[in-house]
Amino acid sequence: MSKRRGLAAHFGPLELAILDVLWSGGEVDVAECVKRLRGDQAYTTVKTVMERLVGKGFLARRKEGRQYVYWPSRSRAEVEQEVAAAQVRQLVDGFGDLAVANFVRAVRDDTDQLAQVRALLAEIEDQDESGGAR
């Protein structure tokens, strides 16, 4: 059994597929989205999921004639950053020092990730020494 990772752990499969369509191709109406999905999803199902993504703030829309045109309200990178930050905050809020210690242990064998942690800590120290905001 494979674990769902990244955005796939946060969004349902159809939600993420719809977001991928919009991130790759700009503004679309529901019919065009269904066409680009190339699956057996019903028009009404795709429309419902797109409306839910509007409600969650991930898509925006405007009326053109009798239909709505949708586009992503944030880039994929912005959504990844937002979701990752929220998950880390939830973990730290729930487990405090234990979460931080386990995070460091999780990256200690990956030299690139460990270098990123060290660089971020150095940046925080520099800001603290210069009186900058955290």
Place of tokens 């053109």: 64
Which residues does residue 70 pair with via DSSP β-bridges, in sequence order? 28, 61
Q: What is the pLDDT of residues 46-66, one digit of tens each?
A: 999 999 999 999 999 999 999
Q: What is the pLDDT of residues 81-118, one digit of tens each?
A: 999 999 999 999 999 999 989 988 989 899 999 899 89
69 neighbors 29 (Cβ within 8 angstroms): yes
Choose among 60, 87, 72: nearest CA to 4: 87
pTM: 0.78
23 neighbors 14 (Cβ within 8 angstroms): no
In the chain, how long is the greatest CA-to-CA distance? 58
